[in-house]
Amino acid sequence: MPAAQSRDLRLDFFRGLALIFIFVDHIPENFLSYFTIQAVQFYDAAEVFIFISGYTAALVYGRTLALQGPPYAVARILSRAWQLYIAHIFLFVIFTAEVSYTVTTFNNPMYYDEMRVGDFLDEPHIAIGKALLLQFQPTFFDILPLYIILLAIFPIVLLGLRLQPLIVLIPSFLLYTVVQFADLSVPAYPDGHVWYFNPLAWQFLFVAGAALGLERVRKDAWLRFSRDALPFAAILVAAGFLIKLSWTIHGVWEPFPGFFLKELWPINKNNLSPVRLVTFFAMLAVVAALVRNDAAFLRLSSARPLILCGQQSLEIFCLGILLSALGHFVLSEYNTDIALQIFVNLAGILVMCLTAKMIDWYKTMGRADRSRPSCLNR
Amino acid sequence: MRSLAVALAIALMPPLAGALRGSPACEVPEELMQFDHKLPHLAEKLQTHEPVKIVAIGGASTTGLAAGSSDFAYPHRLQEILARWYPFSPITVVNRGVPRQTAQQMLDRFPTDVIPEDPVLVIWETGTTDAVRGVEVDDFAATLQSGIDELKAHGIDIILVDMQFSHSTMTIIDFERYLNALHRAGDVNDLDVFQRFELMRFWSEQNVFNFDGVAKEERASLAANVYDCIARKLAEAIRVALR
């Protein structure tokens, strides 16, 4: 397949890495989270994931759009969003089972009055409806609704970008800017909650990724800009690295100073604070300049599992969320030994990589199966 | 973040028995009892033997309902202990606990429940309801900051108290982000944070207090014992800060 040969493995590699980081970071109090990107940068794997998802969505569906026309491209995008929606409902059912279990085994009066996590079980007719409407986003399960919404609006984004990137980028950026100043958020259930990942802000990262992805298809020289900005970007990345690393060390060992902690903290994630966004783009420019898409390490067999994870991102993403919930459950049910933590992390990563390999095998077989009778058509 | 330091400290600790002193039930590793910041206003009142008023604002665990009466709640026990230690100043600890309130709802009560009492020290126990309801963690941090600023503007000393540890809800409530926010708020404002979460986790792991298989009637007295330990540790923390 020529498409596979020209595939930019950097995208798959870094998205695979982001998926592993999301899994690790989603297990609370996880020792290994000191070794993910959020320990040394203001942004975390969520930005990497959303950006690359926008970029590849534009690559893949942009090609569909060019070859098979808008109706089919739109249908493909929406069918992807539908798959995600099903995954969200599945995760919600698992969460409900977890809460029901906890509520029925709760016997401690000291917490009973405070930790009424099972309140929504008292009104299932409302809670389930809200979950179906993406309004109910339990902790730990809040990034999927963002992804679903981003894909649902993607047909318009893609068609607009094809016409003229600026007619999409400018409104998208303006909306992001408004959110930073006005306290705009999307309400959720129960009353008083909002979407954890504010889609009005995070859409900009996805749209920016899509614009760059599409420009690439058109062989436009957008990225030359990033090369000119490289020295500035490198300084930002280095500064972000030093500051955030000092915070991480300060968190573990208090006598070590957290640089600019009083000035910068807290850095808002819900609305994708400009500090996060700017340092992410800086890192992007640096990585795009330093890591060529024919970089040797991408061909190494040790990079293969990550690349496969990145290629099967939907399945591996959902699996990762599920596994981190499971890992968290195991760790809090038994103990939080560093040894058990490392075991849980490695087991989860192994399951993710093996699943990616299996899905890859399954899809390859499916393609081979389809291509045999149809070789006359070539 | 912070919890790793604690986990390491506990793991690297010399044999536990050696580190435990005094009343065995309440003891915790020394690492959990480090308080570096002073309580200047409280110290001054105690030095001049003036009356001391402390306001404890918080949620259900401040009211002490689980123990059956506010007489068993930590603020009341704290008052008794401090009165014994500092006999020259009349000490009152006012209980301003209201169950199931977010930090914001508590902050809204400051003008009516806290400031008019003219306290010299406020003990602010918060975060549980925010974590349970999933309040935006940055909003939680901002609320803490406004509360701290307001109290500081009135010349009031502050101790923050973090959440209760509950083994069974750990998998469905994400406490970590709220704990980190609360500890960081203490950090950037040079305040001491009373690490109730880690203390209670330690007791839970050491099986000091176990509610499993305890008859319903006895649970209240067990809860009273926990609150008593909390009060003792808090009193010790205050004594360390006054040193």
pLDDT tens, A215-232? Answer: 766 555 666 666 778 899
pLDDT beyond 90 at A111 = no
Higher pLDDT, A28 or B104: B104
Q: Which domains does chain B have, with CATH numbers?
A: 2-7+35-242 (3.40.50.1110)
Mean pLDDT in residue range A8-32: 92
pLDDT beyond 80 at A373 = no
The shortest C-alpha distance from B200 to chain A (Å) reads 11
With CB atoms and an 8 Å threshold, state whether A332 touches B134: no
Q: What is the pLDDT of residue B6?
A: 54
Of A117-131, B115-129, B204-218, highest mean pLDDT: B115-129
Q: What is the pLDDT of residue A104?
A: 75
Residues of chain A above pLDDT 70, percent: 90
* Nearest CB to B169; choose among A34, A117, A336: A117
Q: What is the mean pLDDT of chain A?
A: 86
Residues recorded for chain B: 243
- Among B94, B163, B179, residue whose Cα is nearest residue B126: B163
Q: What is the mean pLDDT of chain B?
A: 86
Class of residue B98 by CB neighbours under 10 A (exposed 0-12, middle 13-18, buried 19+): middle
Q: What is the pLDDT of residue B13?
A: 44
Tokens of B10: 């506990």
Of A280-289, B47-56, B220-229, highest mean pLDDT: B47-56
Mean pLDDT in residue range B160-180: 86
Give per-residue pLDDT as tens, A230-251. 899 999 999 999 999 999 998 8
Residues of chain A above pLDDT 90, percent: 51
* Nearest CB to B66; choose among A110, A116, A336: A110
Of A123-127, A136-140, A331-335, B90-94, highest mean pLDDT: B90-94
| Torsion angles phi and psi, residue A246, rounded to 5 | -65, -35
Give per-residue pLDDT as tens, B9-68. 444 443 333 333 344 568 888 888 888 888 999 999 999 999 999 999 999 999 988 888
Give per-residue pLDDT as tens, A163-193. 988 999 999 999 999 999 987 888 888 777 7
Residues 141-170 of A with CB under 8 A from B: none
* Nearest CB to B61; choose among A114, A194, A270: A114
Higher pLDDT, B17 or A206: A206
Q: By mean pLDDT, which of A43-47, B165-169, B185-189 is the weakest?
A: B165-169
| Torsion angles phi and psi, residue B123, rounded to 5 | -105, 115
Give per-residue pLDDT as tens, A72-91. 999 999 999 999 999 889 88
Query: What's B113's DSSP letter?
Result: I
pTM attached to this predicted model: 0.82
* Nearest CB to B188; choose among A106, A140, A261: A261
Q: Which residues lie across from B53 on neighbouring strands?
A: B92
Higher pLDDT, B241 or A1: B241
Q: What is the pLDDT of residue A318?
A: 85
Higher pLDDT, B184 or B171: B184
Looking at the complex, does the CB of residue A129 fall below 8 Å from at least one CB of chain B? no
ipTM over 0.95: no
β-strands B121-125, B91-97: how paired? Answer: unpaired
Contact B85, B93 (CB under 8 A): no
pLDDT band at B84 (very low <50, low <70, confident <90, very high): very high
With CB atoms and an 8 Å threshold, state whether A107 touches B211: yes
pLDDT band at A103 (very low <50, low <70, confident <90, very high): confident
pLDDT band at A378 (very low <50, low <70, confident <90, very high): very low
Q: What is the pLDDT of residue B110?
A: 96
Q: What is the pLDDT of residue B20?
A: 38
* Nearest CB to A102; choose among B129, B172, B219: B172
Q: Which residue of B has its CA nearest to A98?
A: B172
With CB atoms and an 8 Å threshold, state whether B219 touches A253: no
Q: Which residue of A has its CA nearest to B142?
A: A266
Q: By mean pLDDT, which of A73-77, A330-334, B91-95 is the weakest?
A: A330-334
Residues 195-224 of B with CB under 8 A from A: 205, 211-212, 214, 219-220, 223
Mean pLDDT in residue range B127-154: 91
Q: What is the residue-wise DSSP string for A202-220?
A: HHHHHHHHHHHHHHHHTT-
Q: What is the pLDDT of residue B8?
A: 52
Query: What's A315's DSSP letter?
Result: H
pLDDT beyond 50 at A2 = no
- Count CB neighbours of A33 within 10 A: 22
Q: What is the residue-wise DSSP string for B4-62?
A: HHHHHHHHTSS-HHHH--SSGGG---GGGG------HHHHHHHHTT--EEEEEEESHHH
Interface A-B: count of C-beta contacts within 8 A:
130
Looking at the complex, does the CB of residue B129 fall below 8 Å from at least one CB of chain A? yes
Cis peptide bond prior to A190, omega within 30° of 0:
yes
Mean pLDDT in residue range B237-243: 89
Q: Which residue of A has its CA nearest to B164?
A: A111
Is residue A155 helix, strand or coil?
helix
Q: What is the pLDDT of residue A283?
A: 93
The shortest C-alpha distance from B45 to chain A (Å) reads 30
Q: What is the pLDDT of residue B29?
A: 87
Q: Where are the alpha helices (DSSP H) in A164-273?
A: 165-181, 199-217, 223-228, 230-252, 261-264
Looking at the complex, does the CB of residue A104 fall below 8 Å from at least one CB of chain B? no
